[in-house]
Amino acid sequence: VILSSVLVFIVGTAIKTNRYMQSVADFLAANRSAGRYLLCIASGIAGLGAISVVAKFEMFYEAGFTATWWMMIVTPIGLLLALSGWVTYRYRETRVMTLAQFFEVRYSKSFRIFAGIILWVSGIVNFGIFPAVGARFFIYFCGLPPSFTVLGLVIPMFPAVMLFLLSLSLLLVFIGGQIAVMITDFFQGMLTNVVFIIILVALFYVFDWSTICETLKMAPENASRIHPFRTDQVSGFNIWYFIIQAFVMVYGFRAWQGSQAYNFSARTAHEAKMAGILGEWRGLVMILLLMLLPIGAYVVMHNPDYAGIQANVTEALGRIENDAIRTQMTVPLALAEALPVGIVGLLAAVMLAAFVSTHDTYLHSWGAIFVQDVILPFRKKPFTPRQHLWLLRISILFVAVFIFVWSLLFRQTEYILMFFALTGAIWLGGAGAVIIGGLYWKRGSTAGAWAALSTGAVVGIAGIILQQVWAPHLYPWMAENARWLLDGLARVLEGIADLVWGINWKVEPDRFP
């Protein structure tokens, strides 16, 4: 009932906004009409996403309160960037509709096309696992069967759920472009804020604080969930992860374009800046719930008082063959068993809103980037507004088909946040230098921009390829034919890990170090 009500409201709101979508500018940037409060709420939920929630579940389940401690050290950096208008202010003053359009103005037309292609490829590959993670959450959290039968035909649940959720997101984008996306995201964001408060209060009734503390103390000494300086054996999420995040926050600020339309939808540059400031405070409250839910799941899975629930969750996890997916679904399965029925429904509604808001935003962004920055520069005669709008819709549809197929075929081997880092590096590796140099340094040259973006793309693509071929092909081949190289790599990487606190690189057969 809760999920159905949310669905009806979202679609009804989108249909109401259709009459305001009259031009290409409306479709792409809501005719630059958004105020700070609308942008703050709408862009906040667009950046949350079902996959982001599951990714945070993974992080806090592994690192506990220590992740929050390190995040609080990093948080002031984001606030300072927002207060100063770093990148945002000058970027908005250019009045371009996409980032690559700025590159043409600042560098050259050929670099704009190259940057648009690199950004688009990085973006849709990064976007590729979003439907898979979201669909699996609903399947395991809601206890859906692995398949169902229609007219005698057995249909697997996983692609069916993905198809339904993607179709809903596509519908919102097609109805009204950025106007529909922004308005529906705003209402979904308001719903999420209210439900988060309800769930937060319920958590303190379900889990006793003293039980949480005692359970977290049971963690291994060098993988503490409480002491931030005893986390050198925490898998993936120790101090070095957050140091890198702090650097990327400054270097790559506003470089990622998954929600690029929000960067251009503000009425003025000042409204965009104020929306960013308000969003930083909103994020501080949201992270509290995203921390407590996985910590509650950790308590359920490690405290003897919850032995019955542990058995049920362990049995369900045992049916999942992929290690990465098993890790992703640990928290959703534990919460589904531990939380009251009404709270489970509310959390499912929030995740539905988070899924739709992120997917409609990202579909719109990556579809628009391909048209604006890859196709239009080759077009000598401009499209009519009608042709332009239909081309945008076709491009968005292609992105949806791509991520559906990618989600079906791609083998996940890493934490979600690590996958984000790998795929994002294709673009972000060089984009920060290009953007900051273009906005703040008069001597930034076109040759330097080409060199920076090319190097970042090559390194990023190499990282993804190595991750995919390491376990099935590269490691077995090296173990049999180039043992000396494998042993040398192990000595170098593990030697560095022994010397530097917090680094736990290991050369293992199942994962590239």
Q: Mean per-residue pLDDT for 438-454?
A: 88
Q: Which of 370, 418, 376 is nearest to 396 (CA)?
A: 370
Token output for 303: 């405290």
- Displacement of CA 194 from its chain's centroid (Å): 22
The SS3 of residue 335 is helix
Which of 98-107, 413-422, 449-458 tops mean pLDDT? 449-458
C-alpha separations of 274 from 42, 84, 99, 259 in Å: 14, 10, 20, 17
Model pLDDT for residues 85-112, shown as the tens digit of each residue: 888 778 777 777 667 778 888 898 889 8
**What is the three-state SS of 137-149?**
HHHHHCCCCCEEE
Model pLDDT for residues 193-229, shown as the tens digit of each residue: 888 888 888 888 888 888 899 999 988 888 888 888 8
Q: Which of 342, 372, 362, 370 is nearest to 104 (CA)?
A: 372
Query: Residue written as tokens 């989600």?
Result: 407
List, as one string, the DSSP characters of 369-437.
Answer: HHIIIIIGGG-SSPPPHHHHHHHHHHHHHHHHHHHHHHHHH----S-HHHHHHHHHHHHHHHHHHHHHH
Give the start-end residues of each E strand in 231-345. Answer: none
Whether 284 has a pLDDT exceeding 70, the answer reads no
CATH of 2-412 given 3.20.20.140, 3.40.50.720, 1.20.1730.10, 2.90.10.10: 1.20.1730.10
β-bridge mates for residue 150, sequence order: 153
Whether 298 has a pLDDT exceeding 80, the answer reads yes
**CA–CA distance, 47 with 273 (Å, rounded to integer):** 17
Q: Which of 23, 18, 28, 25 is nearest to 365 (CA)?
A: 28
Higher pLDDT, 249 or 254: 249
pTM of this structure: 0.87
How many residues are recorded in the chain?
Answer: 513
Q: What is the mean pLDDT of the chain?
A: 86
β-bridge mates for residue 156, sequence order: 147
- CB of 279 closer than 8 Å to CB of 450: no
Q: Mean per-residue pLDDT for 115-138?
A: 92
Token output for 219: 């963690």
**CA–CA distance, 232 with 235 (Å, rounded to integer):** 8
**CA–CA distance, 6 with 2 (Å, rounded to integer):** 6
